[in-house]
Amino acid sequence: MIDALLDAARPALAVAFTLFGSPVTWLEIAAFWIAIAMVFANFRVHPVAWPLAILSSLMYALLFADSKLYGEAGLQIVFVVVAFWGWWEWLRGTGAGGAPLRVHRLSARLRIAAVVATLAAWPLLGGLLDRFTDSDVPYLDALPTVGSLVGQLLLGRKLVENWLVWLAVNVVSVGLFAVKGLWLTVILYTLFALLSVVGWRAWRRLEQQA
């Protein structure tokens, strides 16, 4: 199944240029710009962020599968499913008392639960990738995979802490993609890390205005 999809996407996986000695494909270039547009839409809490997320996730699923980053590739498919949920939440979701969903924060108890769940799921996924795939970085792949899912769920509920989760995920991902030689994606995730700080500050202001 994966091989068939990669064969179908082979023209998009053609090399556009090389960066630091590694090939950059047309697919990676397109996914890069769509992902940037998505983040800026997230800053403004604009629902168009979600269809952009769906498109970029599908592109990155192919790119990561081609690089044998199966945890990241599988995560992108989960992202597509979660993105439809997040899209609905931003358009129709409600908060306390049935009021329209607004930017808000996690309780202290739920913050601890999110951290514990992430640390518990990380070695479990890493072990699965190590045993059942030919990934050469199973545990490094697993950590941002688990963290990204947590971040996406928090984002869907307009929780300010999603930006702190993304900051951590993006920093780890920079190292992961550098190991795999995906240098344009390294640049993207470095930019994502910086934008996570911007997003954190922007959503804190929105929370105070709510």
| Residue 19 reports pLDDT greater than 90 | no
Phi and psi based region of residue 17 (left: phi greater than 0; alpha: psi -120 to 50; beta: remaining): beta
Phi and psi torsions of 51, nearest 5°: -65, -35
CA proximity to 72, closest of 147, 18, 162: 147
Confidence of residue 95 (pLDDT cuts 50, 70, 90): confident
| b/e code 110-128 from CB counts within 10 Å (16+ = b) | eeeebeeebeebbeebbee
Q: At what angle do helices 138-156 and 70-92 cross, to 10 degrees?
A: 0
Q: For every residue of 46-104, which 3-state class applies, written as one string?
A: CCCHHHHHHHHHHHHHHHHHHCCCHHHHHHHHHHHHHHHHHHHHHHHCECHHHCECCCE
| Residue 130 reports pLDDT greater than 70 | yes
Q: What is the pLDDT of residue 9?
A: 67
Alpha-carbon distance of 179 to 200, in angstroms, equals 28
CA 103 distance to own-chain centroid: 19
Q: Is the pTM higher than 0.75?
A: yes
Q: Which residue has the higher pLDDT, 96 or 175?
A: 175
The total number of structural domains in the chain stands at: 1
Q: What's the whole-number mean pLDDT along residues 143-158?
A: 93
Alpha-carbon distance of 168 to 170, in angstroms, equals 6
Range of the domain at 168: 2-209
